[in-house]
Every structure is written in structure tokens, then in C-alpha cells.
A and B are shown apart, each in its own frame.
Chain A
């Protein structure tokens, strides 16, 4: 076991930080803020990352990547998340949509979809949840009926981030064989969002625009060559994708950055001498350390060719609960001024702590609720019977 980064890795982190200091405009507050500059900025930023070879650093060389070590990838994710994820919607492409295409896609699909992701030129949205299928994802009702060289999709998806950005493509889970056992009749389709019959309706979210949408599919024709993996084996694709997603987000790094800024804040205000404040901030630091190490453990397994399923769920539990704790404790430390949003003058830390709180209300819900993660740990990690 080795708990240190190499000098080369630390050098890479320093290089990234210098790049971010140069590139991030003062107004940058992350996505989901009501600022029309945000989305175009993320596109331009991703193109710059791509030009330096950093956007798809994690990918194999064969697909336009650099085969970067998992630890360099982790450092990249940490620095991005610590700076309000300037890759915007595209982190999803890099973390799991691209890797799913590499793993399950045909050669033609790889040639078709990966280069635009690698160039930082495309926005994807994810079509999983439905009004009647949230935690019970296998209960989805959206149909994709095979008719020779194409599928016809009918149904409704919801909670689709960035669908209104507008998204170029949708990573869609649909039922191809009705009546099959719940997990058996599902498939993943890669759907061009400009296809006739698709309607996107934004849903207001507590965090801001682009976060939530619903997508209606009405007789949408999807060519058969947009089926990812085998027909009726989509559950495998989605399970792999969600595992990439759980490890692929350095939530602890953002929480850690907010914590650092809170420490500077309490030093300025004189709260740093208050024993209760010291205990609170230290507790968050400790939990941050736990979350970081559990992510690193999952990455260590990946680096050796394993698939960290239970480990990914454990890491996610720690990460999401930490994020929420930092938001709650941070607002308490700011006191009444914590209620000021980023639009108000004199907002402490530019509203960072408010955003930390509000954006992380759904952290324990998205990509598998806390309860779903615990079911995975209990069943697959401990061998307990399926829960009810």
C-alpha cells in the first residue's frame, strides 16, 4: 500500500491548477446557475482541454485517449470538481457514456461516437428514470419496438439533466421485449435528439436551469445500428455505466475545497478560536479523508482490472453524505449571511456554500439512492437475502 502520489502526478496537479487559474473566469459558478454564459463556456473549455489531450486522457489511445494512469485521471477529476466542474455536461461522456461505448459498442459505433466526445464537441443526456420508475429502474415502460432496420420508441423519460442544453444525443434505456423478466427485456439505444417525435420540457429545479427535464418520445425512429450492445442485454450496460459513474466523480474534492474556503473564512471572522467551530470543521475534514480513501480504494481495484461494485457504492455513500454535511455545517457557520444567494452583494464566498447545500439535496437520490446503495452492499457485499 502506498498513500502518496508520485512527483510526476503532483506536477500534473500543479499544471492543472495553473491552467484552471488562467482559464476560469471570475464569474464562473458552475452549471445550473441562471447565467447564459455558463454552457457556452463549458464547450469552449472542453475544446481547450481536448487540445491539450486532457479531456479524454483516461481513454485508451485507440479511441483518442492517452491511456493515462487511473491516478492521473483521479487528479484531473479532483481538480475539476474542486472548481465547480467546468467540463459541465461533458463529464458524463468522459466518465461513463464513452467507456460504455468502448466496452459494448461495435467498431462502427466507436468510430462514430467517440471522436466527437474526445473533441469536446457534443452534449449527451441520460434517459433512465421515468415517472413510474425511479429506484426501481427495471420497471421502466418506455417501449422500443423493433421493426426491421429500426426501432420505434414511445414513452416518457424524466429528470434528464442537460436535455434542454440542448443535448445532441440521449443514452436511452428502453424495453425491447415486453413481458420478459424485469431485467431481461431492456436495451440501450443511442438516440439522436434531433429525431422527429422528441419533445423536451424543462422542469424547474431548486438548483437552477438545465438540471431537470423530461423527454417525450412519440413514434421516434431509431436506426438499428444505434443499439448499444445486444438487444435485451441493456441492464448489463446500465449496471456497468452506473459503476463507472459512482467512482468517476470526485465529490470529496469539491467538499474539500469548500471546506478549505470555510477554514479561511472562520480565520478572518475570528470564529476559528471557537472550540465548537473547530470540532465541526475537523469532523468534516475527517469525513472528507474517509471519502477520499474509499474512492481511492475503488480506483485501486479498477487499476488492477477489477470492477468495484460494492466498493463503489460504499464510496458513494460516504461522498454524498459528506457533501450534504459540508453544506449544512457551512451555512450554519455563515449564520444569517448564509441565506444570501450568489446574486446578493456581500454574499460570503460568492454563494459557494449555498450552492454546496442546495445542489447536494439530490446527491443521495441521483444515480441510486442511499437506500439502493445500501441494498447493493447488503446483498452483494454481505450476502444478505434480497430486501423488502
Chain B
């Protein structure tokens, strides 16, 4: 059975002409041609819906400013001020800029000096990656408040998080434990889930685990760890997909995992 002429399919899909009897019969019997025509019809429908999309309004200026502020905040997270520990409490809720968190946490003009020292003490791959963006951010926005430089936050342990099991491979992230007992998670491309994400620390020897907290839709999150948590035992960071089922146990659906190393 030879397929219908593709040009003919295009015209049929655009409603340019009606299918004749032979064509209708063929379309009824041939999944290939039917699919192609459905696709073309669908695309034509989308095309017809594009009117007005060529002249869309730009976002207001504050959106760009917020983007810059949040990027700066996210990429300088490891340098949370030390002595003012309460500042770090602002991060989980203060993810959006404009609430003062970015302004308090960042010291753009002093960043280079502070960073070089921080990098020297925590020469991890993660640190190197973050240092790499410092120049970028200065260019993006050289203005901003310049609070007193604070001692660097020391990273006690960190773990690259990789897609686990059936999770799409582009999902990834990074976990760092700071010396103030907080777990910083940076996440990218988590797949959509019908419920919510939850973070766990797992002891790989006996698979005992406890929940560290729940994630919002931010790409960065700071969660407090229990005091004196044994990170050598509970060394696996796990991000799971949880359903709203009133079951507080791990769903068994791990999205990301990584092992902390100090």
C-alpha cells in the first residue's frame, strides 16, 4: 500500500480540500498517513493560535533586577555570614529577592578577597565552580549594599546529587553541609511530581533514614540538620518524590542521590 502524497496531506490538513473516497479509505486504514495528517492539523491549529504572539509586551524592569539579585544570592550562598547565624534562617523563606535577604547576604564589592580566602580553605570542585561565577556577577550588577565582610562559612561535607533510578538524567543537584549545621541544596531539572519533594539522610549500611525537610520549588534550599547528626553514618543525601498520602515514610521513589564526603 503506497502512502498518500505528502503535499496532498498538507493540503488536506489545512482544509484546502476534502479527501476523496480513495483518500478517505486510505486514511482510515493507514496509521502512518493518519498520524501525519493529525500532526499537520495540530500544527496548523497551533499556527492559527499564534496571532498576537508576535507583539508581546516585555516584562517590567523589576523582573530583571530580581533575576540578577536572586542569581547573585544563589551563587554566593556558601559565603553566608558566620557570626550572625540567624541570618541563614532567612534563606529558606527568603529565596525571593526584595525581602532583604540578598542585600544582607551579599557583599559584591568585597567578594573577591573574601572568596579567595574561602576557596583556599574549601578547595572543592564546588567551590571552584562558584568562584568561577564571581566575576560574572560583578559585571551583572556592581551596585548593591556592602555590609561588613563576614568570615566564610565552612563546608564540612558536600555531595553531587545525581539522577537516581528512572529519574530523567538531566536532573541533578548538589548538597553541602555548612558548619552551622545547615544543609544547602542546589537543584536543577527535578522532574514534575504529583506531590512534593522531600530530603532525607540515609545510612547506607542499614538503610535507616530520617527526613531533613520538604523542598519548595526554589532551586536553592537551606534546611537545618539535627544537632550532632552523624554524617559519617548518614552519608547519603536523597531527594524523593512524595505523595499527599498522610504517610510520613519514604515513598521509595528516590529522584536524586549523592554521598557526602568531607
Q: Do A and B bind each other?
A: no
* Chain B residues close to A by CB (< 8 Å): none
